[in-house]
Structures are given as C-alpha cells and as structure tokens.
Amino acid sequence: MIPDGQGTARRAGSWGELLGKKHAPAAFVLAAGVALYATNAYLTASLLPTAVAEIGGERYYAWTMTAFLISSVLSVTSVGALVGAWGPRNAYLAALALFGAGTLVCAVSQSMAEMLLGRSVQGIGGGLLSGLGYATMRSALPERLWAYASGLVSAMWGLGTFLGPAAGGLFAQAHAWRGAFLVLLAVTSLTAAVTPFAFRRSPRAQRPRGLPSLFSLSLLVGAELAASVASAAPSRLGLWLALVAAATLVTGFFWADSRAKHGVLPPVAYARGSTLPWAYLVIGALTAGTSVEIFIPLFGQRLGGLSPVAAGFFGALFALGWTLGEFPSVPVVGPRRVRAILVAGPLVTAAALVLAGSLRLSCDRALFGASVLVAGMGVGIAWPHLAVLVMRSAEDPDEGARGSGHLRRAVGRGDLRRRARGIAREPGRNGERNRCALALLRDRPDRADRVLRRPARPSPADLNSEF
C-alpha cells in the first residue's frame, strides 16, 4: 500500500496483477500492437540495404522512413475519434488490416515507388496501433497498473527494436528480404485473430472527439517533408534552407495548433503551468536519440565492413539497453526519485551518443557497442514515467490530457482549487453549487459545466455526501 497524497492508502500494482487472468488479454493486445509497429520500423532498416540493391532507388533511402512517419503522424491523431466511433476492438482490427495490407505491398514491391506506397499504408496502420496502445491503457487498466503497462509497452519497443534489426539482418544475409515482410504479415494476422477475444465488448464513446485541424496537420507534415528534403539536398545552401523551412513550419504548427478547436496536441499542453510541454520536450529529445539507430545497420555495413547480421545486432543493442533500463525503473515511486530519473535519462543518452559519435566503428567496435547500449538504457529508465506523467494529466481516457477544456486553460491549477474551496466554505450554498465546487476541486470542468446548467435544488446534506 502506498499513500495517495490525500491521507489514505491505495493498493500498489504489480507485474503479477497486470499479467494475471483479469488483465492479461488487454495487456497482450496493447503490447502486440506496439511490438508490430516497432518491429516493422527496425526490420525495414536492416532490410533496406539489401532491398535497395535489388529494386534500386538508393537516393530515396531516407524517404522509406519519411513515408512511414508522415502517415503514422496523420493516423495517430485520429485515434481518439476512431475509438469513439468504433470502439477499441473494431479500431484495433481496422489498424491491423491496414498494417497488413501495407506489409503485403512491401513484400511484393518491384520498385522504390511501390516500396514507398507500402510503407505509407503501413504507417497509417502502425500509427493507429501505437496510439491505440496508449489511448486504451488508461481506460482498460486501473491507475496502479499504468506504470507497469507503460513498462510492458516500452518493452515491446525494446523487443521490436531488438528483433527487427536481428531478424532483418538474417533475412538480408540470406537474400530473402521479402520473406521477412511475409513473416510480419503472418504475425499481424495472428494478432487480429486474438483481438476479438481480448475485447469481447466494444462500447462506443457517447461524444467522440473531432478530427484534428487540417491546417495544423499540414504544417506538421510540411516540416517533416522539409527535413527529409534537407537529407537529400544537393548543396550546403539547400540543406540550410530546408532546415530553416522545417523550423519555421514547426513554429507555425505550435502557433496554429494552440488556437485550433481540435488540435493535434491536447489543449492542456498549451496551458500556463502545465507539465505536459516539459514531458513532450523530454519525449522529443529521447525520440531524437532513438532515431540514430535506424542508420546503424547501414553505417555498420558501409563504414565498418560488417555483415548484415552483425550490423543488425549492433542496431539491436540500443533496444537491448532500452529494455534493461526500464524494468528496474518501473517500480520506482516518489516525486523526487521520478524527477531524478526523468532528468538522468536524457543526460545518459546524450553522453553515450556523443561518445559513440567520436569513435571509429571499424576500430572501436566493442566501445561503440557499449555506448549504444548505454544510450538505450537512458531512454529505458525515463520512458515509463514519462508515459504516466502524460496520462495523469489526462481527462479524456481515449486521447489523454484533452478533456480538461477551457477552464484549465483560463486559470492555473492552484487558483482553480482555491476558488473551489472558497465556494465550498460559503454559507447558504445549495447542494448543486457544492457539487460544482467539488468538481472544480477535482479538476472536473466537464462535470462543473453540467452542474452549472442545472436548476438549483437546496439540499444541506449534499456536500457531506460527496466525501
């Protein structure tokens, strides 16, 4: 039992409870969806050198990841609306169907254009799968299991980034890169077959959230395209112009998204005093660190003279470190300890990547591998707590941190609670107003709005009944 901050004790979660009979189906689906997404991303990274040698298009090597990421961004922003309209079971089945279709296109590709098409469709399904894992976690599991579920999902990223490069390297060395996509398709089909048993009932949300602003999405996609153009720029001037354009579009995205009715990011992310911007900043820094591992198999083969299998395992070291770092970190509780972990994680990753970048892969392979491993550990120790931090800022269980609405944007959390307590203490208030005050006190502006619209009916016992 651990204190909940209000003088009472709440039950502590455990791995046994998460993986027990009651929660195992939900845990499996959450983990499998993210594992497919992660495995595919890094499997493709290991296969691409061999695939490009067969189908051509080396100039557009980076676009295979760009197409995947852009379509993932576009689809992940619609997760809340999809779950609200179809429910978690049907949403998962739709995502798996799209992911499987894209995987099949990649398996039969005869040109880079066909590969990019398959990667785009894969990205749509993969983005939905990665978003569904977090969107349904908050509603499917009790809060005491959130850190453990986040750790499990993060472990799937680690598992995927370990299996992806390793398996991809094996298939590439056997010159059977198409077979790797077919194996991935078989696993996708198996997951789809299990999904109906994990979500036997698929309730619909009463008020699904609208789709994000098209203008905001356009700016975000434009920034990604500009960054991709920079990677293929023929001159240094073109490189810098593309990077400046990308930075400008990102700035414009934040400006437009903060004013949109339905933004890509939740409204509370732009509220004064919110912790979400800092959480997103750390997530962005860690994600930037993880992106370097995509190129490790290519660098290993081209610069280090490694075989596809060996280069794939070098890429997998980052994932192994991720997994090794997160499991001892998940049970850590206490604000100070968690804060220390959130600070230490990015610092460890940054230092390890700087060391790895200063080494010569052809001469310092052992030290290079150790640096990549430690960089992954920095991500692993911080990631589960970042996910919990985001979910605890949430009001909408499907989207995370979107339901706090205009009241939380208008006033800070401390001022909101002081006002609520003042209303509760005023004499002569009726039961409806007291419930409104307590709803505000608990950061429930949606309930407060409903209460304020009701006709007042005095009831002296109402306030006491709320405790």
**Domain of 100: which CATH number?**
1.20.1250.20
Residue 245's nearest CA partner among 256, 257, 234, 253 is 253
Q: In whole angstroms, give the CA distance from residue 227 to residue 247.
A: 9
In this structure, the number of other CB atoms found within 10 A of the CB of residue 253 comes to 23
Q: In whole angstroms, give the CA distance from residue 407 to residue 177.
A: 53
327 & 351 share domain? yes
What pLDDT is stored for residue 118 in this prediction?
A: 92
Dump pLDDT digits (tens) for 152-200.
877 787 677 677 777 887 888 888 889 999 999 998 998 888 888 777 6
What pLDDT is stored for residue 392 in this prediction?
A: 67
168, 37 Cβ separation under 8 angstroms: no
* CATH number of the domain encompassing residue 342: 1.20.1250
Q: Is the pLDDT of residue 410 over 50?
A: no
82 & 176 share domain? yes
92 & 158 share domain? yes
For residue 444, tell me if it sits in a domain.
no
Domain end (from 364, 386, 410): 410
2 - beta bridge partners?
A: 10
Q: Which of 50-64, 152-166, 203-217 has the lowest mean pLDDT?
A: 203-217
148 & 219 share domain? no
373 & 303 share domain? yes
301 & 163 share domain? no
Q: Which of 37-51, 64-78, 221-235 has the lowest mean pLDDT?
A: 221-235
* Token digits of residue 283: 């997530």
In this structure, the number of other CB atoms found within 10 A of the CB of residue 421 comes to 13
For residue 57, tell me if it sits in a domain.
yes
Looking at the whole model, is its pTM more than 0.85? Answer: no
115, 61 Cβ separation under 8 angstroms: no
In this structure, the number of other CB atoms found within 10 A of the CB of residue 255 comes to 11
Residue with tokens 């998962």: 92
58 & 118 share domain? yes
320 & 295 share domain? yes
For residue 430, tell me if it sits in a domain.
no
244 & 162 share domain? no
397, 409 Cβ separation under 8 angstroms: no
Q: Which of 64-68, 191-195, 298-302, 430-434 has the lowest mean pLDDT?
A: 430-434
Length of the chain: 467
Q: How far is CA 163 from CA 24, 36, 173, in A?
A: 23, 11, 15
Domain of residue 324, residue span? 265-410
In this structure, the number of other CB atoms found within 10 A of the CB of residue 397 comes to 18
Q: In whole angstroms, give the CA distance from residue 106 to residue 103.
A: 5
Q: Into how many domains does the chain fold?
A: 3
